[in-house]
Amino acid sequence: MAALTVAVLALLGLHAGCAAVPVPLVMWHGMGDSCCNPQSMGYIKKLVENKIPGIYVLSLKIGSNLIQDMENSFFMNANDQVREVCSQLAKDPHLKGGYNAMGFSQGGQFLRAVAQRCPSPPMLNLISIGGQHQGSVYGFPRCPGESSHICDWIRKTLDLGAYTAAVQEHLVQAEYWHDPLKEEDYRKNSIFLADINQERGINETYKKNLMALKKFVMVKFLNDTMVDPPISEWFGFYKSGQAKETVPLRETSLYTEDRLGLQEMDKAGKLVFLGVKGDHLQFSEEWFYTTILPFLQ
């Protein structure tokens, strides 16, 4: 009976024993960033805490310090990162009744992997802000922050062999590199994205766990110069075999075959597609307050 009560309260966005306590928020930063950068994730954390008094916000850190956290966003196997985060969440007593999740850029697809692979504690709503759900960064056109030397090296490495075992194991961006000109190589050798997108077969557990979300919110930046193609942020991608014409989610085989349950979620009103003017991860406080905050309350 107690477990049932907790589950019902979680659906209502409340916690057992204290109905006024807001649902906790878990955030995951993007490539080249860290958990607590005062100009990015630390800033967002304060925005949320100021607007939702008493909320518990966990900004994920992968590593023992901020430098490691930033470096791991480039060089720590994404599957190992997801495994580490699942362990962190399972051990956190604040999250037992459920939590909302908000991921930025690659953090959006990593949190989707958490939803699919680790249903306990339960993720209630997933907000992906600029997440590349069908892959990227095809062409790697621009580099974040102060990491240009790293990105120059990554570009050369990806060009030499994104789908080789050594690169896949040790370079995060290769693990969601989706080359529309090499679809077969991608399906066979991508160790992260091809798995969570059900490219090699259907994992019914992934599908069931994702469909348990109340809302899956996807934010696309309408003037994005970093994610190629930007429609990946809404789960669309290039037509196979070329890199010019794109197709929206509802015309992809992932949707028409409903390999992830997205079609069923769409029909149930669980998918939310939002567009915001601006380049990658560029948005105003006002937009964040009026558009994103309601999904956290």
Q: Hey, which residues are catalytic here?
A: 105, 224, 280
Which are the contacts of 221, defined by CB distance < 8 A and separation ≥ 6? 130, 227, 230, 233, 275, 276, 278, 279, 280, 281, 282, 283
CB 27 within 8 A of CB 60: yes
Cα–Cα distance measured from residue 245 to residue 218, given in angstroms and rounded to the nearest whole number = 21
Cα–Cα distance measured from residue 15 to residue 38, given in angstroms and rounded to the nearest whole number = 30
Helix axes 78-91, 106-117, angle to 10 degrees: 60
Q: Which candidate, 110, 169, 142, 297, places its Cα nearest to that of 224? A: 142
Q: Which candidate, 85, 74, 86, 75, places its Cα nearest to that of 33? A: 74
Q: Which candidate, 24, 16, 12, places its Cα nearest to that of 60? A: 24
CA 288-282-67 angle, to 5 degrees, is 100
**Tokens representing 119?**
């249903």
